[in-house]
Amino acid sequence: MKIKLCVISLTLFGCMSKIKSPPNAITKPHELAMHGDTRIDNYYWMRLTDDQKNAKALDSQTQEVVDYISQENKYTQSSLSHTKKLQNTIFEEMVSRIKKDDESVPYLKNGYYYYSRFEKDLEYRIHCRKKGSLDAEEEIILDENALAEGYDYFSIGGMSISPDNKWLAFGVDTVSRRVYEVRFKNLKTGDILATSIENSTGSVAWANDSQTVFYTSKNETTLLGEKIWRHKLGTENSDVMVYHETDETFYNGVYRSKSGKFIIIYHSSTLLTDYQILNANNPDGEFKRFTPRDFDHEYSIDHYKDRFYITTNWKAKNNRLMQTPDTRTGISNWKEVLPHRETVHLLSLEVFKDHLVINERKNGLRQLRMINQQTGNDEYIKFDEETYTSWVSVNEEFDTDILRFSYSSLVTPTSTFDYNMNSGQRSLLKQDEVVGGYDSNKYMSKRMYATARDGNSVPISIVYRKDLKEPEAQNLLLYGYGAYGNTIDPFFRSSRLSLLDRGFIYAIAHIRGGQVFGRQSYDDGKMLNKKNTFYDFIDAGKYLVNQKITNSDKLFALGGSAGGLLIGAVVNMEPSLWKGAIAAVPFVDAVTTMADPTIPLTTGEWKEWGDPRIKKYYDYILSYSPYDQITDTEYPNLLVTSGYYDSQVQYWEPLKYVAKLRDAWQGDNKLYLHMNMEAGHSGKSGRFRRYRESALEYAFLLDLGGIKK
């Protein structure tokens, strides 16, 4: 069941009377004691179980929580009602730029060309294929719009076709908890089997008999994938569990190798990965370890013909490339193909008959390197822009000299190319269209470098509209993330034009916790080094102020999820630096969450943040945890967003955070909470509806920046 709050609708802004005072949440002191330290959490009572949230009849605690959320939402909508027209204008702008009848670039796999398309005004994709030729008759294999009817939220996960091309497996999530039901569709008859798989990650791995699939089930408490099962289509026999991971720090899953020869189970924690393999011709056989799990070791594997290629950090912080026969996969058999380099981070590999394509990060930018295994020729694809990103696209065939890759920058829409690895000829297949016209020459993107307090270099990618660039300080939105080794690359987003065309500068701070300069950047921004992430972001903001690109009355900050923790930390540390900030689905109650293994996903995070059940980590996390470090001070204007069904950051974290901030709030700046009662971590589903919340965020920023239309 989903809780319905009519006040969520932004269209109701004009219908409600003005609410002058923010909500005042009830306090119910709750003791949290650890390592001889006692914290009092006045808002711990806001935490509900899934059973409470999903019950048909709300108990008293649930009703109390829902009522408080309703008050916060009403206050936000009332306080921002003067921006209603601006929100609607921005929303219409964002949606108008989206091509309504768009289609993806087809790719060839196992005799069929696959692609997806949108039809005008429909929210979801239609997945199609054509046999043998793009001139063949179109076959619709799945229409998401038909399946989504009647649901407030709808998401497809893990679509995969059987080797004989007759079956489609796909996952469905209608709650936004990222727990999927796997269904099977007969592509000959169009029928969907009555038998489905519940509580899964959404994807399956097909064996070569096209009747056996392997899938992953989730722990219902932690939501981590923990068990791998074998399932036979069309049989009523119980599924067979082939693996059970008992270490709760691991994410687990199963997939089919690109070569089709192996079913591969993966196990991944922050510092360690390993694999088990099974010949796909023998689905009833036993999986075997690729190599023993006996030390911290991160690697990935790619199979081709009779060997595996291994991208590994074994004695190589930034990774090196190895290979081994597929019959002798233990680490003692590995032979080096490409050595480790101190200044280049090897990210991933794509294997072709005669070529190896390496996606690597060099000078902070993702680049594509091609090695001809016949001639030894070794070269990079050249790009002209100062700041950009490139990546390997869909390449399902081995026996080809054509690489499909994608490219984007802050001013260049995502573009898909075919590249002849022999001749160097590049063919543009598609560039995402910005409906209504878009002239990239009107905009400027560049790379700047701030210096952090410890001397570390912090790259900043910025973009602005040339004719609106001011000689002195102007409104600037600084975005950051800085966790899990995820590097935020500078890519194009048409919705961002609604800021740029109103005179905002948009900037990305490439901070530690990501891997902009390789693995060291990540190590320097995690565990007991986490504060470097916050310092980098603050120092990037100060640099932009010192360069007179902006000032503290025009500087805004944005981050989501782990980036929301970033926002919570930096507004505690330097509240006067920012005019305003948006903390989206923020992970802000770091100590309490990381000390509780019953909260979904916590156990898999201990080697990212530290386990506060160990005192040194408790002390360090406590020293920056946004919820715990709230003080009586004048905070910047702050918008906090969340989703009631969020499985990544539970809704009560931002809810408690706002309630506690209200207790400490000084001055006249504004604090708002927007809780979406029909969504999870990623907000609303659908290609248009999701922009309602983006419009709210942009209107909040523009209003503070003195821009009213």
Reference 554, options 511, 503, 510; nearest CA is 503
Structure confidence at residue 151 as a pLDDT band (50, 70, 90): confident
- Taking each helix axis from N to C end, the angle separating 615-624 and 531-546, rounded to the nearest 10 degrees, works out to 30
pTM of this prediction? Answer: 0.90
Q: Which two structure tokens, joined as six digits, stand for 17?
A: 């009377």
**What pLDDT, in 10s, does the model give residues 370-389?**
999 999 999 999 999 999 99
Lowest mean pLDDT among 216-225, 436-445, 525-534: 216-225
Q: Which two structure tokens, joined as six digits, stand for 376?
A: 């030894």
Active-site hit among 646, 674, 685, 694 = 646
**What pLDDT, in 10s, does the model give residues 196-222?**
889 888 999 999 999 999 999 988 877
Reference 378, options 344, 360, 350, 355; nearest CA is 355
Domain assignment of residue 401, yes or no: no
Active-site hit among 70, 162, 461, 561 = 561
**What pLDDT, in 10s, does the model give residues 269-303?**
888 999 999 999 999 999 999 999 988 999 999 99
Q: Are strands 180-186 and 167-173 parallel, antiparallel or unpaired?
A: antiparallel
Reference 342, options 377, 302, 366, 315; nearest CA is 315
Q: What is the rounded distance in angstroms from the CA atom of residue 521 to the CA atom of residue 536?
A: 11
Q: What is the rounded distance in angstroms from the CA atom of residue 128 to the CA atom of residue 115?
A: 6
Question: What is the reported pLDDT for 683?
Answer: 57
Average pLDDT, the chain: 93
Q: What is the rounded distance in angstroms from the CA atom of residue 600 to the CA atom of residue 197?
A: 21
CA distances from 698 to 105, 504, 582, 643 (A): 31, 11, 10, 18
Question: What is the reported pLDDT for 18?
Answer: 80
Question: What is the reported pLDDT for 50?
Answer: 82
Phi, psi of 104 (to 5 degrees): -80, 165
Q: Which domain holds residue 688?
A: 6-12+23-96+437-704
Question: What is the reported pLDDT for 8?
Answer: 40
Within 10 angstroms of residue 386's Cβ, the number of other Cβ atoms is 15
Within 10 angstroms of residue 562's Cβ, the number of other Cβ atoms is 24
Question: What is the reported pLDDT for 645?
Answer: 87
Q: What is the rounded distance in angstroms from the CA atom of residue 160 to the CA atom of residue 235?
A: 20
Structure confidence at residue 238 as a pLDDT band (50, 70, 90): confident
Q: What is the rounded distance in angstroms from the CA atom of residue 32 to the CA atom of residue 41?
A: 7
Structure confidence at residue 63 as a pLDDT band (50, 70, 90): very high
Q: What is the rounded distance in angstroms from the CA atom of residue 580 to the CA atom of residue 74?
A: 21
Active-site hit among 41, 303, 681, 703 = 681
Residue 78 host element (H or E): helix 60-79
Question: What is the reported pLDDT for 20?
Answer: 83
Residue 220, SS3?
A: coil
What percent of the chain lies above the pLDDT cut of 90?
81
Residue 685, pLDDT > 80, answer: no
Residue 614, pLDDT > 50, answer: yes
Domain assignment of residue 588, yes or no: yes
Reference 118, options 616, 686, 690; nearest CA is 686
Domain assignment of residue 373, yes or no: no
**What pLDDT, in 10s, does the model give residues 28-60?**
999 999 999 999 999 999 999 888 888 888 899
Reference 543, options 639, 600, 613, 478; nearest CA is 478
Burial class (CB in 10 A: 0-12, 13-18, 19+), 341: middle
Domain assignment of residue 275, yes or no: no
Residue 580 host element (H or E): strand 580-584
Per-residue pLDDT, averaged over 685-700, amounts to: 86
Residue 61, pLDDT > 80, answer: yes
Residue 244 host element (H or E): strand 240-244
**Is the separation of the CB atoms in 508 and 479 below 8 Å?**
yes
Structure confidence at residue 14 as a pLDDT band (50, 70, 90): very low
Question: What is the reported pLDDT for 440?
Answer: 96
Residue 170, pLDDT > 70, answer: yes
CA angle 672, 677, 681 (to 5 degrees): 85
Q: What is the rounded distance in angstroms from the CA atom of residue 302 to the CA atom of residue 256?
A: 11
State the CATH number of the domain containing residue 545.
Answer: 3.40.50.1820
- State yes or no: is 681 an active-site residue: yes
Which residue type is seen at 111? G
Domain assignment of residue 176, yes or no: no
Residue 154, pLDDT > 90, answer: no
Q: Are strands 476-479 and 457-465 parallel, antiparallel or unpaired?
A: unpaired
- State yes or no: is 30 an active-site residue: no
**What pLDDT, in 10s, does the model give residues 450-493?**
999 999 999 999 999 999 999 999 999 999 999 999 999 999 99
Question: What is the reported pLDDT for 13?
Answer: 44
Structure confidence at residue 681 as a pLDDT band (50, 70, 90): low
Domain assignment of residue 1, yes or no: no
Residue 692, pLDDT > 50, answer: yes
Q: What is the rounded distance in angstroms from the CA atom of residue 515 to the CA atom of residue 484?
A: 9
Residue 16, pLDDT > 60, answer: no
Domain count, the chain: 1
- State yes or no: is 101 an active-site residue: no
Question: What is the reported pLDDT for 9?
Answer: 40
Phi, psi of 659 (to 5 degrees): -60, -45
Domain assignment of residue 227, yes or no: no
Domain assignment of residue 663, yes or no: yes
Structure confidence at residue 234 as a pLDDT band (50, 70, 90): confident
**Is the separation of the CB atoms in 171 and 157 below 8 Å?**
yes
**What pLDDT, in 10s, does the model give residues 533-583?**
999 999 999 999 999 999 999 999 999 999 999 999 999 999 999 999 999
CA distances from 5 to 53, 70, 72, 197, 427 (A): 14, 7, 12, 32, 50
CA distances from 233 to 141, 184, 212, 228, 370 (A): 18, 9, 6, 16, 41
Q: What is the rounded distance in angstroms from the CA atom of residue 525 to the CA atom of residue 534?
A: 9
CA angle 503, 505, 511 (to 5 degrees): 165
Q: What is the rounded distance in angstroms from the CA atom of residue 661 to the CA atom of residue 639?
A: 12
Structure confidence at residue 618 as a pLDDT band (50, 70, 90): very high
**Is the separation of the CB atoms in 669 and 637 below 8 Å?**
yes
Q: What is the rounded distance in angstroms from the CA atom of residue 659 to the CA atom of residue 642?
A: 14
CA angle 73, 75, 76 (to 5 degrees): 65
Reference 558, options 469, 612, 602, 493; nearest CA is 493
Q: Could you tell me the end-to-end alpha-carbon distance of the chain, in angstroms, rounded to an integer? A: 38
Residue 171, pLDDT > 80, answer: yes
Q: What is the rounded distance in angstroms from the CA atom of residue 168 to the CA atom of residue 141?
A: 8
Per-residue pLDDT, averaged over 168-197, amounts to: 90
